[in-house]
Amino acid sequence: MKCDLHVHSVYSGACTTPVFRHFCRESYSDPEELYARLKSRGMGLVTLTDHDSIDGLEALRCHPEFFISEEVTCRMPSGTEVHIGVYDIMEAQHLQIQSRRNDLLSLLMYLTEKRIFFVLNHAFSNLTGRRDSDDFMWFEAYFQAMETENSLLPPAANRCALSFAKSTGKTAIGGSDAHTLVSAGGAFTDVPGARTKEEFFAGLREGRGTPGGGLGTLGGRWLKLTRDVLLVAASMMREKPSTAALAPAVALLPLVMLGQTLHATAFAWLWGKRAERMRGESRLRMPWEIEAGQEALSWP
């Protein structure tokens, strides 16, 4: 059974890029159209992972293959930002999760207590800004699963995530991170033999999930990302005709996306090397364990 565990709809809110956040959305994909697209690409289960939102559930709750998820924007103790995919939640749990997203330890304790499956997304990407060495100590200690195949990231970011996941015994997860309909289902997670949602998540907890799709070269990823940004820009102009004045700048997008792709590759390479060195050191005890001897959380 397959499921794209990282996909966005119109309910992901405003674009986070400076300036564009005032008039552009992260995605313009309609939930019903996303559902149809994902099913046509062989997904046995369907979910949405909108940024800090579950508003798309109203359109899809009638489908038995649909379950509620979200991508939580969380602040690390170091002050950096990460995105955490949380899956198969209830509406009341969404509110509790959002109230804890700026307190990582509280969030992790809640997810563990409620046995909610959660995944660290694009850990070696610059999508959420800077990284800190302490972040990887948290990643190693408290995350059982990691996204290792994201169809929009440069191959280096996925390779570093996969290496980290293998060396720390984490479940590998795949998702398209689609912000457009055309990219939905481009990467996914497969649990062989699963026939129901319950069996799918049982397989993930047992480490039997296998990332699929998403294969491509650095150039292919750049072209795919550029295509998706152009599609989002076109949707923006249809929704807000006044933004058509920005059309001449669209010609620069391939060059801008090339710069972003190269920067993302360098970022992944840098932190991949640093994380590898840290794993070889003997000091991988968390700061609070050293200070207070606190026990590690158990995996839900």
pLDDT at 159 over 80: yes
User: 228: buried, middle or exposed (CB in 10 Å: 19+, 13-18, 0-12)?
Assistant: buried
Sort strands 171-175 and 145-150 into parallel, antiparallel or unpaired. parallel
Confidence band (pLDDT; 50, 70, 90) for 292?
A: very low
In sign, the C-alpha dihedral spanning 92, 98, 104, 106 is negative
- Give the H or E element holding residue 71: strand 66-75
Q: Compute φ and ψ for 223, nearest 5 degrees.
A: -65, -40
- Exposure b/e, 7-33, CB count within 10 A at least 16 = b: bbbbbbbebbeeebeeebbbbbbbbee
**Which has more confidence, 245 or 16?**
245
Residue 202: count of CB within 10 angstroms of its CB: 14
pLDDT of residue 251: 86
What one-character DSSP code corresponds to residue 178?
Answer: B
- What's the chain's length in residues? 300
pLDDT at 295 over 70: no
Confidence band (pLDDT; 50, 70, 90) for 54?
A: very high
Residue 235: count of CB within 10 angstroms of its CB: 18
As a whole-number percent, the residues of the chain with pLDDT over 90 amount to 83
pLDDT of residue 290: 38
pLDDT of residue 163: 95
pLDDT of residue 280: 66
pLDDT of residue 216: 79
The whole-angstrom separation of Cα 14 and Cα 51 is 10
In this structure, which amino acid lies at residue 135? D
Confidence band (pLDDT; 50, 70, 90) for 281?
A: low
**Which has more confidence, 5 or 16?**
5
Average pLDDT over residues 226-247: 93
Residue 185: count of CB within 10 angstroms of its CB: 25
pLDDT, tens digit, 9 for 90 and up, residues 78-101:
999 999 999 999 999 999 999 999
In this structure, which amino acid lies at residue 240? K
Three-state DSSP state, 66: strand
Domain boundaries of the chain, sorted by first residue: 2-292
- The structure tokens 């998706």 sit at 228
**Nearest alpha carbon to residue 43 among 88, 96, 3:** 3
Mean residue pLDDT across the chain = 91
244: tokens are: 């058509």
CATH number assigned to the domain covering 2-292: 3.20.20.140
pLDDT at 291 over 70: no
pLDDT, tens digit, 9 for 90 and up, residues 176-225:
999 999 999 999 999 999 999 999 999 999 999 999 997 778 888 999 99
174: tokens are: 């795949």
